[in-house]
Chains A and B, each alone.
Chain A
Amino acid sequence: MVGKESVAMCSAGHEDLARVTWNVPEGHVATDSLPTFTPTDFVAVINQTLEYAYPSVMIVGEVASFKVNQGKWVFFDLKDEETSIPCFMTLWAMRQPLEDGMKVMVRGTPKMTKWGKFSFTVTAVQPVGEGSLKKAYEMLKKKLADEGLFDPAKKREIPKPLDKIGVISSTGAAGYADFIKIVNARWGGMKIVVANTQVQGMDAPDQIIRALNYFNERNDVQVIAIMRGGGSKDDLSCFNDEKLVRAVAASKIPVICGIGHEVDESLCDLACDVRASTPSNAAEMLTPDRKAEIAKLKRTMLQTRQAAVQKIDAFNVRKNIIDVLKNIKREFAVKEDYVKQKITMLEALNPEVILKQGYAILQGEIKVGNEAKIITFNSEIITLIKEIKERNQNG
């Protein structure tokens, strides 16, 4: 067939789908047994075959020749002892720092370039193995700390009391079950809205980011709790994803993280407002204990009663004092009257008063021939006693 569109079956073992179309260039002849392609078509056929056979695969290997071009294209080789695969990705898709020597797991699709070179287009990459995870963790931690993402001054307190909590977790995970069990045991009457997401693996960070956005857009929960039980460092490494860490730090709603065990520290733990050591610990931090609250309630009422009794006692004491004072005042008034009477009486006996009434006082020995003194109100008279007569007192 010359210059016409031909159709052939690709021999990749996928006869049902791998029907490809190509154009045979002018002047060339396609044999019935062997398909003939232009280079462009051949690359397209290869890529289509690869895409069908391996739409998305994971490869684990060591990073070599890592470089970033123009601040947006990432190139590295993924190798083991015998083989090296050239990899390409955008810087945007690189969610944790990479460097030569790191062991990583990449997800992507194999592809042949238009220059006929094989390349692996990476859509997601994640360090694996303790050494690589630690290295990536430390590099990203330093970068984000320098930006102030973990600044303690930015931490907010969890509002209290809580009516509505947003939870991001896998509803099938043990950590989630622990969290719900302890929350229910400790407190009641709250609404708990759960966003079910993966909490490990390459897809987990984006799912958790979407759930964070969901809660922040609706803004009707008071706190967001990100929960995940214990696991290996590989399992927990999704919580060191740069975009997720940034989303946690940027959340308008306060975030509490309960990820892994006490010894596990993820970058999300550092970026969130409150870090709980485990999901169970997060449940304890978010809720008061109903038994303790009931005991506190009883104690409060007892103290209130005591306070009321004390105030009543104090009132009675005050009242008693006032009564005593009133009595004293009353008694004092009586005494005052008595004293006044006495004063009046004494005043009545005052010789001066008597003299003023016209009486006179006779001083001296009353004997004929003696001198005596007569004192009146206005004068003193010296007189000689000539005679003394008996006086009839009846007048």
Chain B
Amino acid sequence: MAEEKKKLNDKIAELDKKVEWFYSDDFKLEQAVEKYKEAAALAKDIEKDLTELKNEIEVLSEDFTK
């Protein structure tokens, strides 16, 4: 689950970069459509993760009374 979360955060960071490209000087018209398609697919994937991912809760077995 934590791995999945890492992926989610990585995906969000990757999407941020992809979106940034559209506002940067690196923008190239001939790549725009392909880049937008990639970003939209990633956004859809993130939306799915956000909807479905659960947290993993681990209660430590350590005894803190001693």
A residues neighboring B (CB under 8 Å): 161, 163-164, 171, 180, 183-184, 187-198, 203, 207-208, 210-211, 214, 290, 293-294, 297-298, 300-301, 304-305, 307-308, 311-312, 315
Contact = CB atoms under 8 A, between A and B. Distances in A.
A164 B2 CA distance: 8
A192 B57 contact: yes
Contacts of A183: 55
| List of 9 A-B pairs having minimum Cβ-Cβ separation, nearest first | A189-B5, A188-B53, A189-B53, A191-B2, A207-B64, A210-B64, A194-B59, A290-B50, A192-B57
A184 B55 contact: yes
Given A183-B55, A195-B60, A195-B62, A189 B36 contact: no
Given A308-B32, A315-B29, A163 B47 contact: no
Contacts of A207: 64-65
B28 to A, nearest CB: 10
A211 B59 CA distance: 12
A311 B25 CA distance: 11
Contacts, number: 105
B43 A192 contact: no
A214 B36 contact: no
The binding surface of chain A is classed by DSSP as: helix
Contacts of A171: 59
Given A191-B2, A211-B64, 20 more contacts: A163-B2, A180-B57, A184-B54, A190-B2, A190-B5, A192-B56, A194-B58, A195-B64, A196-B59, A197-B64, A207-B65, A297-B43, A298-B47, A300-B19, A301-B40, A304-B39, A305-B36, A311-B27, A312-B29, A312-B32
A305 B36 CA distance: 7
Interface in B1-15: 1-2, 4-6, 8-9, 12, 15
B55 A196 contact: no
A212 B63 CA distance: 13
Most chain A CB within a 10 A radius of its CB, from B15, B29, B55, B59: B55
Given A164-B2, A304-B19, A188 B54 contact: yes
22 contacts: A161-B9, A188-B49, A189-B4, A189-B8, A189-B9, A189-B49, A191-B1, A191-B2, A191-B55, A194-B57, A194-B58, A208-B64, A214-B64, A293-B50, A297-B43, A298-B43, A301-B39, A304-B36, A308-B36, A311-B27, A311-B29, A312-B32
A17 to B, nearest CB: 25
A190 B39 contact: no
Most chain B CB within a 10 A radius of its CB, from A161, A189, A301: A189
B29 to A, nearest CB: 5
Contacts of A214: 60, 62, 64
A179 to B, nearest CB: 11
Nearest to A311: B27
Nearest to B55: A190
